[in-house]
Homo-oligomer: A and B are copies of this chain.
Amino acid sequence: MPLPDLATAPYPSAAGSLSDLAAVDAAILDAVDQLPPRIRTVAKYHLGFSSGPRPAEHRGKALRPRLALAAARCGPTPERAVAAAVSVELLHGFSLLHDDIMDGDRTRRGRAAAWVVHGVPAALLTGDALLTLALGVLADSGSAECMRVCVRMMSALVRGQGNDLAFEDDQQVTVDAYLEMAEGKTGALTGAACELAATLAGAPPVVVEALERFGRHAGMAFQIADDILGIWGDSRRTGKPVGSDLAARKKTLPVVAALHAADPEAGQLRALLDTGVPLTEAQTQRATVLVGQLGGRTTAEAIAQQHLDLALEALQCCDLPAGAREELRTLAHHMAARSR
C-alpha cells in the first residue's frame, strides 16, 4: 500500500474547518507582514509561508489552531475565537524557534531549523517577535482573562523547557518528572488553545475548565505519540531522521520508562546512553531494541491511552453541542494515534 501523500492533512475535520484554517493563516500572515524585513523573512520561513500561502506540509499539523477552532464551537460567539487560534499558532512558533536553538535541533518539519538557515541571533529575535505578535492579538481581543491564561501558559512552558534542559544532565529522570515536563512543554499550550478559544467564544466557566482539561490531556497523548514516533516512526512521514531522538540521547517517555524497568538489561541501556556523545547507528539500533524489550513502548502507549481517556472524559462532564463534542473527540483520537 503506498504511503499517503504528506500534503494531505491527516486530521479529519468538520465541514468548513479547512476554510477556517485558511482564515487563521491569513491573519497570521497579516501579523507577520508587520515585522521588519529581516525578521519577517525568518518568520515566514519558520512558519512555512516562504512563497505565498503555505502548503500543508509546511504548515505542520496546525493542531493548536484546530483545537482552538473546535473548542470555539462550544460557545455562542465562535467567530471571536479566531484570535485564539492565531495567537496559539504564533506562541507555538515562538516556542519552537527558541527550543530548537536550546536543544540544538537542526531539523524541523523535514527542513533545516530556522537557526541553521538564518543564524541564532535572527532566529532568537524572531521567536521574541512571534511572541510579541501573539500577545498583541490577545491584547486586542480585549479579554483580560485571556492575557492571564497566556501568562500562566508561558510560565508552564518555561518551566517545562527548564526541566527538559535539566534532564540532559540527569540520569535519574523518573516517569513522573517526564510527565510534568511534557505537561509544561506541550499540554499547557494545547490546554490554553482550548481555554482561550472557549473564553473568547463566550462559553460558561464550567465548559472553559472542561475544555482546558480536554486540551491538556489530548496534548499529552499527542506528545507521547510523538515520543514513540521519534524512536519507531517512519522518517519519510515524521520529517525527522530515523532514531534521531535516541541518537541524541533524548529522555523521552519510552526511554525513561525502559530505564526504570526492573531488568538487568536496563543497565545496558543506561550504559549506552551515558556516554555523553551522540550514539552511532549501530548503538541507536541496539538502544531501540532494548527500549522495546524493556517495555518502554508498552508503558508509553498505556500512559498515552490514559491521557486520551481523561481527555474524552472531560468532554462528558458538561453540556456541549453534539457536533463540537464529536469533532473534539475525533481530533483527540487522531492526536493519540498519529503516524507523523
Contact = CB atoms under 8 A, between A and B. Distances in A.
Contacts of A165: 38, 121-122, 125
A135 B158 contact: no
Report the 6 A-B pairs with minimum CB-CB distance, sorted nearest first.
A102-B121, A36-B162, A132-B154, A129-B158, A136-B151, A39-B162
Contacts of A122: 165
Interface stretch (A142-150, A194-202, A299-307): A142-150
Nearest to A156: B132
Contacts of A139: 144, 147-148, 151
Interface of A: 35-39, 98, 101-103, 120-122, 124-125, 128-129, 131-132, 135-136, 139, 142, 144, 147-148, 150-151, 154-155, 157-159, 161-163, 165-166
Nearest to A135: B151
Contacts of A121: 101-103, 165
Count identical subunits in the complex.
2
Given A98-B124, A124-B124, A38 B166 contact: yes
Contacts of A161: 125, 128
Contacts of A120: 101-102, 120
Contacts of A129: 158, 162
Contacts of A136: 151, 155
A166 B128 CA distance: 16
B135 A154 contact: yes
Contact of A159 (B36, B102, B159): B36
